[in-house]
């Protein structure tokens, strides 16, 4: 019996050990899968709605968990509730039906979210789904409604939709929702744990009131605060029902709540675009806790900023979907460094980011107009004045030189102004413009104060070199100076979040061309050969192409294709060679080859790490490249409609420039070319780059317009310098020939070509 007892005890111990091992194995297997997630969406929720008194739940989450601003840009610049929920589920920009009221005009209001038709088995159908699908086909974003719901269903998992907005997000491609509840008040922990992904529509906040009626605005603020408090209270109750180990996401999924239909003479009641709330608490998809950190995404590379289009891939990651970003333009949310320990300081930074975005929204357009129209008016006025009073030519030319350099310094000043972090102050706009003007004056004085001021290419070369250097350093360190700059990257426009946007690109390439031309002329004036000067110019161009095109820096798809031909023209001019169509075509072919290699190398990286290059290469392989090209072409042509004054002003400027620099050139330009021979190929290089930029970028006419906006003042400053000299350029008497060879060589040299022995002081 003793032996039997011992054997029984040993067997029991072995079984117990096996049970423990099996339990650990099961637990390990469970731990290997991603945690579940619950997303709470509120249309219109912004960080300015959050406070310790009105929204204690959100305020507490902000202090202890991950947070960011979220851009909710969809097809429309002002995102309605239906737009936002559809975009969330598609992972690409989506839109509601354009003409919901059937009046043959685009809607100027936000309609109510359609109420799903429920079935006894707990499923539901989104009414009007086919019309919504058809509306996406009218756009060029290749948006597939039902992507998120369909991909989760393909894994065999389920997803729970609560509320009509959630149904739009989790419906499959036929508009069906497998598990649907219409009211969040009845949610409990069992339902929230039923599926790996749950989306809850908590309604919307009323839109702010715009106008001169202070009483109406104050009443709207009170209504919005009351609604935010009610949402916060409901959110606090629901969070207490979420099982442990399940992630919680909170997102302001749209700009505007449903609105009334305005009369024809009334403005649209849709709320202006703004940055919205993004919060995450609990485990990230890989199981590590978010913690007190900023949120970011590989789609933005911007610490503290995520996109609405990121949410589809984020939820798919929690649902254990293979390649969760496939079919979307977003990437899963992730932590990106700690935010301040003080909740109020974190909130102030988030509110400040939106304040900067609002300054861009309201003042970027006027900034463009001031920068362009003021130049036209001033230069035209100066020309007329000199024509009427020729004796004032030297004095007016000096004034024109100073003003032109100041205009050329405006763009770099707009970027450097971000060092002052002006958006953290209440009077952000005032501080921004004060800082911008001060930096403009400083850069202008620097250009006119150094020893380089005696050469006509010295001051413009300094301004251009400084501008190109600032942008090059910024774009290789995260594009921080471009974030919300008046000429930089806007999170509300949401066209690009890192690298070079089309406007910074135009400023960069124009500055790089002028700086390279000034450097080449300086080398020639110091006795360097044309070959050496051309090699140095080519190296500057190579650096510009690398900075603009590198995925870790500019990541500018169209920039490579536009920059290479422009620098090719400049290099040929510096070398003294003729610029022919065949040579320009060869340079364009080289640009395409470089672009293809960069795109292929970027495509080899993991999908989450790819930039625009790799994504376009993937589109080529998938057969979607034409869709991308067509969308960019439509956007480019659309700039002619949105900015008609550029549409006619740029061609006029091109014609005037070609007339001014044609051989032998008009007075003023002729004198400037005599003292800066590289100026003529520089102008042709700028025209080629601008034309290529128009053809190859979705900003269309804006690219050559901005290139001219900074390029013309730099060139005009050189022309004015030549005109405003106190004495005509000193010309040394020709030395008597010492042998027939020098006479023959002098007779064959083009006097207007770079490298000729003409004075440049």
Is the pLDDT confidence value at 484 over 70? yes
Q: Are residues 325 and 385 in the same domain?
A: no
For residue 387, name the pLDDT band (cuts at 50, 70, 90).
confident
Number of domains in the chain: 2
Burial class (CB in 10 A: 0-12, 13-18, 19+), 244: exposed
- Does residue 470 share a domain with residue 392? yes
Domain assignment present for residue 357? The answer is no
| Contact in structure between 332 and 325 (CB atoms under 8 Å) | yes
292 and 331, same domain (yes or no): yes
pLDDT grade, residue 747 (50/70/90)? very low
Q: Which residue did the predictor score with more confidence, 720 or 391?
A: 720
Check if the beta carbon of residue 421 is closer than 8 Å to that of residue 430: no
Model confidence at 757, pLDDT cuts 50, 70, 90, reads very low
Same domain assignment for residues 456 and 320:
no
**What pLDDT score does 22 carry?**
37
Residue 733 inside a domain? The answer is no
Alpha helices per DSSP H over 193-266: 214-241
Do 138 and 55 sit in the same domain of this protein?
yes
Least Cα distance to 177 among 124, 225, 99, 132 occurs for 124
Q: Specify the range with the lowest mean pLDDT, choosing from 153-157, 401-405, 556-560.
A: 556-560
Instruction: Tell me if residue 39 falls in helix, strand or coil.
Output: strand
Chain centre distance of CA 456: 36
Same domain? For 308 and 406 the reply is: no
650-684 pLDDT, tens digit each? 778 888 888 877 766 667 788 888 889 999 999 99
Per-residue pLDDT band for 41 (boundaries 50, 70, 90) equals very high
Residue 9 is predicted with a pLDDT of 41
Chain segment 142-156, per-residue pLDDT in tens? 899 999 999 999 999
Please tell me the predicted confidence (pLDDT) of residue 708. Answer: 87
pLDDT at 759 over 50: no
- Tell me what the mean pLDDT of segment 344-353 comes to: 95
Among 15-24, 100-109, 563-572, the minimum mean pLDDT is found in 15-24
Mean pLDDT, range 300-319, rounded to an integer? 95
Instruction: Say if residue 373 is in the same domain as residue 331.
Output: no
Which of 324, 339, 354 finishes a domain?
339
How, if at all, do strands 37-43 and 197-204 pair?
Answer: parallel
Q: Is residue 240 part of a domain?
A: yes
Going by pLDDT thresholds of 50, 70 and 90, the confidence category of residue 258 is very high
- How much of the chain exceeds pLDDT 90, in percent? 49
User: Do 404 and 313 have their domain in common?
Assistant: no
Percent of the chain with pLDDT over 70: 84
**Domain annotation covers residue 419:** yes
pLDDT tens for each residue of 175-190: 999 999 998 988 888 8
Q: How far apart are CA 233 and CA 58, in angstroms?
A: 9
Does pTM top 0.85 for this prediction? Answer: no
Average pLDDT of every residue of the chain: 83
Instruction: Find the largest Cα–Cα distance for the chain.
Output: 131
On whether both 585 and 624 belong to a single domain, the answer is yes
pLDDT at 693: 80
User: Is residue 755 included in any domain, yes or no?
Assistant: no
Is 662 among the domain residues?
A: yes
- Indicate whether 400 and 331 sit together in one domain: no
Considering only residues 128 and 501, tell me which one the structure prediction assigns the higher pLDDT: 128
Which tops the pLDDT comparison, 702 or 234?
234
The SS3 assignment for 472 reads: helix
Which pLDDT score is estimated for 626?
Answer: 61
Span 200-239, pLDDT tens digits: 999 999 988 776 677 888 888 899 999 999 999 999 999 9
Helix (H) or strand (E) holding 684: helix 679-696
DSSP 403-429: HHHHHHHHHHHHHHGGGG-GGGSTTHH
Mean pLDDT in residue range 728-751: 42
Q: Is residue 513 part of a domain?
A: yes
Same domain, yes or no, for 287 and 418?
no
Cα(99)–Cα(117) distance, integer angstroms: 22
Confidence of residue 173 (pLDDT cuts 50, 70, 90): very high
Answer yes or no: is pLDDT of 4 > 50. no
Task: Write the DSSP string, 562-621.
Answer: HHHHHHHHHHHHHHT----HHHHHHHHHHHHHHHHHHHHHHHTS-GGG--HHHHHHHHHH
281 and 160 in a common domain: yes
CATH label of the domain that carries residue 63 = 3.40.720
Q: What is the pLDDT of residue 428?
A: 87
Asked if the structure places residue 722 within a domain, the reply is: yes
Cα atoms in the Cβ-side hemisphere of radius 13 Å centred on 509 = 40
Domain range for 644 is 363-726
pLDDT at 698 over 80: no
């Amino acid at each position: 019996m003793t032996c039997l007892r011992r054997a029984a005890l040993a067997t029991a111990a072995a079984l117990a050990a096996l049970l423990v091992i099996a339990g650990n194995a099961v637990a390990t297997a469970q731990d290997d899968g991603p945690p579940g997630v619950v997303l709470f969406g509120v249309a219109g929720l912004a960080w300015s709605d959050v406070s310790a008194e009105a929204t204690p739940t959100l305020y507490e989450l902000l202090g202890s968990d991950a947070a960011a601003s979220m851009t909710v840009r969809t097809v429309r610049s002002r995102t309605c509730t239906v737009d936002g929920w559809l975009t969330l589920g598609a992972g690409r920009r989506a839109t509601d039906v354009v003409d919901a009221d059937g009046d043959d005009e685009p809607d100027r209001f936000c309609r109510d979210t359609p109420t799903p038709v429920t079935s006894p088995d707990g499923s539901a159908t989104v009414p009007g789904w086919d019309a919504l699908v058809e509306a996406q086909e009218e756009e060029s974003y290749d948006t597939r409604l039902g992507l998120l719901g369909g991909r989760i269903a393909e894994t065999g998992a389920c997803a729970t939709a609560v509320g009509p907005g959630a149904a739009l997000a989790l419906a499959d491609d036929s508009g069906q929702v497998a598990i649907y509840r219409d009211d969040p008040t009845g949610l409990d922990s069992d339902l929230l744990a039923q599926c790996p992904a749950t989306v809850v529509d908590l309604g919307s906040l009323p839109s702010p009131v715009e106008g001169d009626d202070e009483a109406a605005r104050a009443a709207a603020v009170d209504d919005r605060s009351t609604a935010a408090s009610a949402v916060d209270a409901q959110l606090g109750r629901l969070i207490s029902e979420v099982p442990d180990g399940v992630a919680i996401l909170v997102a302001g999924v749209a700009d505007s709540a449903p609105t009334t239909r305005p009369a024809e003479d009334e403005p649209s009641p849709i709320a202006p675009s703004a940055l919205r709330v993004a919060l995450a608490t609990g485990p990230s998809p890989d199981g590590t806790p978010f913690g007190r950190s900023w949120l970011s995404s590989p789609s933005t590379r911007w610490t503290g900023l995520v996109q609405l289009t990121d949410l589809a891939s984020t939820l798919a990651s929690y649902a254990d979907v293979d390649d969760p970003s496939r079919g979307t333009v977003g990437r899963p949310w992730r932590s990106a460094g700690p935010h301040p320990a003080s909740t109020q300081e974190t909130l102030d930074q988030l509110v400040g980011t939106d304040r900067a975005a609002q300054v861009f929204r309201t003042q970027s357009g006027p900034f463009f107009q001031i920068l362009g129209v003021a130049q036209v008016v001033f230069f035209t006025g100066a020309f007329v004045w000199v024509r009427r009073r020729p004796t004032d030519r030297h004095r007016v030319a000096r004034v024109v030189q100073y003003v032109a350099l100041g205009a050329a310094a405006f763009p770099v000043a707009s970027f450097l102004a971000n060092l002052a972090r002006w958006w953290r102050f209440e009077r952000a706009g005032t501080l921004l413009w004060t800082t911008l003007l001060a930096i403009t004056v400083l850069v202008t004085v620097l250009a006119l104060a150094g020893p380089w001021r005696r050469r006509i290419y010295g001051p413009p070369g300094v301004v251009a070199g400084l501008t190109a250097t600032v942008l090059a350093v910024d774009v290789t360190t995260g594009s921080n100076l471009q974030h919300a700059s008046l000429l930089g990257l806007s999170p509300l426009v949401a066209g690009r979040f890192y690298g070079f946007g089309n406007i910074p690109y135009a400023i960069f390439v124009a500055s790089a061309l002028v700086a390279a031309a000034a450097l080449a002329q300086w080398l020639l004036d110091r006795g360097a050969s044309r070959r050496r000067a051309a090699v140095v110019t080519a190296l500057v161009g190579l650096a510009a192409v690398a900075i603009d095109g590198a995925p870790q820096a500019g990541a500018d798809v169209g920039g490579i294709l536009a920059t290479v031909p422009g620098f090719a023209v400049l290099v040929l001019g510096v070398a003294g060679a003729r610029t022919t169509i065949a040579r320009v075509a060869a340079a364009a072919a080289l640009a395409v080859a470089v672009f293809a290699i960069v795109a292929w190398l970027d495509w080899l990286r993991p999908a989450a790490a790819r930039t625009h290059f790799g994504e376009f290469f993937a589109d080529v392989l998938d057969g979607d490249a034409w869709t991308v090209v067509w969308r960019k072409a439509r956007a480019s042509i659309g700039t002619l409609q949105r900015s008609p004054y550029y549409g006619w002003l740029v061609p006029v400027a091109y014609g005037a420039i070609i007339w001014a620099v044609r051989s032998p050139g008009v007075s003023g330009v002729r004198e400037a070319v005599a003292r800066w021979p590289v100026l003529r190929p520089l102008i042709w290089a700028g025209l080629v780059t601008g034309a290529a930029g128009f053809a190859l970028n979705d900003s269309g006419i804006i690219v050559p317009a901005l290139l001219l906006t900074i390029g013309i003042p730099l060139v005009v400053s050189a022309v004015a310098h030549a005109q405003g000299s106190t004495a005509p350029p000193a010309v040394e008497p020709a030395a008597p020939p010492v042998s027939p060879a020098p006479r023959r060589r002098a007779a064959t040299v083009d006097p207007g070509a770079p490298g000729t022995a003409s004075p440049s002081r």
